[in-house]
Amino acid sequence: MKIAVMAPANRVDEHALDAVPALAAEYGVELVIDPQSWASGGGHTWAGPDELRADTFLKYANDPSYHAIWFARGGYGSNRLFPLIFPHLEEAAKRKAYIGYSDMGFLLGALYARKIGKPIHGPMPVDINRKVGGRECAARTLAWLTKGDKSALEPGIIGTGKPAAAFNLSILAAMVGTKWLPDLADHDLLVEEVSEHLYRVDRMMFTVSNATQLAGINSLRVGTITLPDADGQADFGHSPDQIAWHWSKLMKKPYEGRALIGHDANNRVVPFGQVIPKD
C-alpha cells in the first residue's frame, strides 16, 4: 500500500514526522511525506499558500498509484482550498481513502457530500508525538487501512447496523447552511471539540440541532471536549453530556453518550458511511 502525507491546513515542524515512516513500514506501507507539509507562507501558520496546498492535494488525489492521503495535521485553512481542488478531481480521486480529523473535517465532509473516495475520521501522523500513547494512536489509522483491524475503530459504531460520521463540532457548525455539508440522514453523528469554553459548545450545538440539513440523523454522541482553562466548565454550569442531551431533545434524536474521538491519544477511527458488522 502506498500512502501520501501532506498538509492542507497548518504546517508541521520539520522533524515532527521523522518517526512515522518506520511505523508505516511495520504495516507494509510505502509512505511518501511531501515537503509541502513543512512549507510556510500564505499567512497564519499554513503549510504554504492556498495554491501550493491545493496543488499538492491534487497531485496525490489524482495519482492512481496512491491508495490514500493521510493528512499530516489539522489547524486552519483546508476549507479555503475547495474552489481550487473540487473542479479538478479526476477518476483516481474517487478510489482512495482520505484520513484526518479536526480542520480536516472540512475536506472529509465535502468529499463525502460528493461521494468522492472513502473519507475517514482518524488519527493523523503528527499524533505520533503525543507524550502518552502517541505511537499507538497513529498506528490505529494504519491498522484500519491495511488490515481492517476493528480494534482501531470507535467501538460504539460497531454492530449498530447504521452508518456513522464524526466531526469536530466547530467544523460541523461552520458547514451548516452550505453546499458542502453532506447528507447525514440515518447516520449516527459523533462530535468532539478542543480548547473551547462550554458556552461556545452550547452555541454550536444550538446551530447543529436547528440545522434542517441534519434533521435526519439517527443519533448523537459526544467525544472528548477539552476546555481552554480549568474554569471553563464551572463558568457555564452544564457538562458536555448535559449540553448534548438538552439539544438532542430538540432534535428529537437519542443522545447515546460518549464516544472515543477527540484531540487526544484515545482518538479512534470512524469511516464515514460504513456499516460495521459486529463479527
Determine the Cα angle at 190 with ends 23 and 228, to 5°. 80
**Which helix or strand (DSSP H or E) is residue 82 part of?**
helix 82-85
Q: In this predicted model, what pLDDT tens digit does every residue of 128-166 receive, in sequence order?
A: 999 999 999 999 999 999 999 999 999 999 999 999 999
Task: Give residue 83's pLDDT.
Answer: 98
Strand partners, 70: 5, 99
Please report the sign of the dihedral spanned by the C-alpha atoms of residue 138, residue 276, residue 60, residue 6: negative
**Residue 156, Cα to own-chain centre: how many angstroms?**
17
Which grid coordinates belong to 40? 510556510
The answer for 169, left when phi > 0, alpha when psi is -120 to 50, beta otherwise, is alpha
Q: Which residues span the domain enclosing 122?
A: 2-152
Does pTM top 0.95 for this prediction? yes
- Give yes or no: residues 185 and 96 share one domain: no
Final residue before a domain boundary, out of 126, 152, 178: 152
CB count within 10 Å of CB 150 equals 17
Cell numbers at residue 71, please? 493528512
The helix or strand, by DSSP H or E, that contains position 242, with its residue range, turns out to be: helix 240-251
Both 139 and 165 in one domain: the answer is: no
Q: What is the pLDDT of residue 14?
A: 86
Residue 186 shares a structural domain with residue 238: yes
Domain boundary among 120, 152, 184: 152
One domain, residues 163 and 266: yes
Look-up: residue for cell 504546517? 11
> Which pLDDT value is given to residue 230?
58
User: Is residue 236 located within the same domain as residue 271?
Assistant: yes
Residue with cell 469511516: 271
State whether 42 and 115 are in the same domain: yes
Give the domain CATH number at 204: 3.50.30.60
| Same domain? 108 vs 207 | no
Q: Are residues 138 and 7 in the same domain?
A: yes
The helix/strand/coil state of 205 is helix
Compute the distance between CA of residue 50 and CA of residue 63 in angstroms, rounded to an integer.
20
239 shares a domain with 129: no
Identify the CATH number of the domain in which residue 65 sits.
3.40.50.10740
Q: Which of 121, 152, 183 is the last residue of a domain?
A: 152
Residues 28 and 123 in one domain: yes
What was the pLDDT predicted at 43?
A: 77
pLDDT of residue 228: 84
Low-confidence ranges of the chain (pLDDT < 50): none
- Give Cα separations from 43 to 52, 61, 71, 144 (angstroms): 13, 25, 20, 35
Q: How many domains does the chain have?
A: 2
Pairing of strands 2-6, 30-33: parallel
**pLDDT confidence of residue 41:** 85
DSSP reduced 3-state for 75: coil
Residue 93's φ and ψ, nearest 5 degrees, are -65, -25
Residue 277, C-alpha cell as written in the block: 458488522
Identify whether residues 137 and 195 lie together within a single domain. Answer: no
pLDDT for res 234:
57
267 and 184 in a common domain: yes
